[in-house]
Structure 1
Amino acid sequence: MKKITLIALVLSMQSVFAQVNRFVYQVTMKPDAENKSDIKTENAYLDISQEKSVFYSENRVKRDSIMQKTFQSGGAISFNRDQMEGLRSNINYSVEKDKKDQKIFFKDRLGRDMYSYEEDRPLTWKILPETTKIGDYKVQKAETDFGGRKWTAWFTTDLSYQDGPYKFNGLPGLIVKVEDSQGDYSFDLMKNYKIAAFPTMNQFGNIIKVKRADYLKQQKKFFEDPMSFMTQGGGGFAQTRIGGGERGVTGPRGNGGRNPADLRKRMEERVKSEAKKNSNPIELP
């Protein structure tokens, strides 16, 4: 009996300290405007606490773990390039919502640095009377126009969080599903569970805070001239990109004996190829 009581107490304490709720969404995307048959699917996390929420790729957590072990070992532990390639993500950004100040911050890596801006466009929802059931949840329909697309969401008051994937929030419950009218992007809640705390994300380079309009200009420039975002003060192109990482994420110094000019060319071709394959972004101009 004492043993059972002790186990119950431990489980109770774990529940108390697990203050972050993780919601796992399946994200379906058609990022290539010229090839809508190329459908990308991956999981993303929406981690929610009382103070904030963060939306980001599941693959990012897995990549970060591998890269962190490599850095901590001083290169003694090498990463499997095929494994890293398998963890490539179309969700290279993260979205953090500050619940107290009701602000949304978008972060994306361009080259060596992370660019961050505060979202300046409020979401205006039209809540409709239509209801249905998705999985275990009774959901209600809502619509909004955002980022050049018309979105339909299904939210549930069974989960009291006024939150959702990506930048979506502000409905009377958690968004279980949201998709655009063209069927190019959809977010579907798969499961949820508690975690002890927000994971620590690897941060390379600087965090540069800009206005949204300035970020869009920098993003355009990055796709046109990626190498201008890769140089270091007085160091030139001294780092190589880790395959499967975020756009422009760099790894340990050294080029393995390869010609720096070839590395530059390969990097430039890869970034431009990625830009072409991502010609149908979630937010349209």
Structure 2
Amino acid sequence: MKKFLLLALFFSVQSLSAQAARFIYQVSMKLDSTQRGDIKTETAILDVSPVKSVFFAEKRIQRDSVFARARQTGGSGFDRSQMENLRSNMDYVVEKDFANGTKTFTGRIARNQYSYTEDRPLEWTILPETATIGAYKTQKAETQFAGRTWYAWFANEIPFQDGPYKFSGLPGLIVKVEDSKGDYSFDLKETRKVDEIQNVSSQGNVLKISREGYEKQLENYRKDPVAAMQAGRAPGRGGAGNQDPNRRRQVESRLKDEIQKNNNPIELK
């Protein structure tokens, strides 16, 4: 509580409006609907400037840093086990352009990266309920989005009409947002000043696509992950399709097991 109070005093309305700010959230996820007690947690970052924001997993930046060092050293010291530990359940980036009101989602499916513009507006109902969260006095709001009912608590004193993931449009920063089933929750834990927002680079080409097209690609991957992985591999390179049958079956079994355990996505429709 003391840390939150100090931060709240440090970040006055004037200072936040004049520069970039970093909001660090703890994200809780129940990815497997058959294992309700298995809660995955990660740290995510929302960088906000007066003109745009970007939301990404902390592990994404850590992975990019490892790759950058490997390129500088010609691959010397590259630790694959370290990369495995940096795998994220939020392998996506959400950018919001405040000038034109667009939200751009960039995510990876198999070996390809896709980007689409979110076309579903958020329609909030502001409720009378209030709560103190950390150092902030917040008010509750409700919306229906992507097959879930979401409840958000926003702080008027933080002058950004933004929040984690695709959530935005309330008269103050979203300090907490969770769905009605308790499957997903984003909770603000820390606030910092930064000189500029993070540039989250993408490895390789990003294919621009419609939201419906992205969902179709995701559906195809879930049906046959090995085929999707092979389709995304450059010609002449080894892959699941060029492996011996036993190895291919092992890869297919592992991918299908991962998909089966990730049966509760944040967006249901």
Checking the alignment, whether the CA contact within 8 Å between 1:113 and 1:204 is kept in structure 2 is no
Determine if the alignment matches structure 1 residue 20 to structure 2 residue 20.
yes
| Distance in 1 separating the partners of 2:217 and 2:258 | 16
Taking the TM superposition and a 5 Å limit, the aligned residue runs for 1:1-285 are 19-79=19-79, 81=81, 83-231=82-230, 232-237=233-238, 264-285=248-269
Report the AA paired with residue 121 of structure 2.
P
Offset, 1:265: 4.1
**1:263 Cα deviation from its structure 2 partner:** 5.6
Deviation at 1:261, TM superposition (A): 5.7
- Distance in 2 (alpha carbons) for counterparts of 1:52 and 1:109: 22
Query: Shift of the alpha carbon at 1:264?
Result: 4.4
Which structure has the larger Rg over C-alpha atoms?
1
Q: Give the distance between the partners of 1:233 and 1:59, measured in 2 at CA.
A: 26
Partners in 2 of 1:54 and 1:41 — Cα distance?
20
Deviation at 1:185, TM superposition (A): 0.5
- Deviation, 1:32, is 0.4
The separation in 2 between residues aligned to 1:36 and 1:176, in whole angstroms, is 25
Q: So what's the TM-score if we normalise by structure 1? A: 0.81
Runs of 5+ consecutive residues of structure 1 not aligned to the other structure: 1-14, 240-257
Shift of 1:280: 0.5
**Offset at 1:132?**
1.7
Query: What is the rounded CA distance, in whole Å, between the counterparts of 2:130 and 2:165 in structure 1?
Result: 23
How far off is 1:156 after superposition?
Answer: 0.5
One-letter amino acid of the structure 2 residue matched with residue 283 of structure 1: E
Deviations 1:78-121 (A, max 9, x none): 2251x333222111111111111101111111122211111111
Q: Distance in 1 between matches of 2:237 and 2:225?
A: 14
**TM-score where L is the length of structure 2:** 0.86
Q: 1:194 and 1:263, CA in 2 relative to 1: closer, same or farther beyond 3 A?
A: farther
Q: Which amino acid aligns with 1:204?
A: Q
**Secondary structure, counterpart of 1:230 in structure 2:** helix
User: CA deviation digits over 1:8-38, x for unaligned, max 9?
Assistant: xxxxxxx99x942110000011010111111
Deviations, residues 136-156 of structure 1 (Å, cap 9, x unaligned): 001011111111111111000
- Per-residue CA distance 1:142-201 (angstroms, 9 max, x = gap): 111111111111000110100000100000000001111101111100011022333343
Q: Distance in 2 between matches of 1:46 and 1:114?
A: 21
Supply the distance in 1 between the matched residues of 2:171 and 2:247 (Cα, whole angstroms): 50
2:203 aligned partner, one-letter code: F
Give the share of equivalent positions with the same residue, in percent. 51
For 1:197 and 1:279, the matched residues in 2 are separated by 36
Pairwise CA RMSD of aligned residues? 2.3
Whether the 8 Å CA contact 2:159–2:172 is kept in 1: the answer is yes
Give the Cα separation in 1 of the matches to 2:93 and 2:222.
19
User: What is the SS of the residue equivalent to 1:268?
Assistant: helix
- Mapped to 2, the partners of 1:262 and 1:118 lie a distance apart of 40
User: Post-superposition shift, 1:202?
Assistant: 4.2
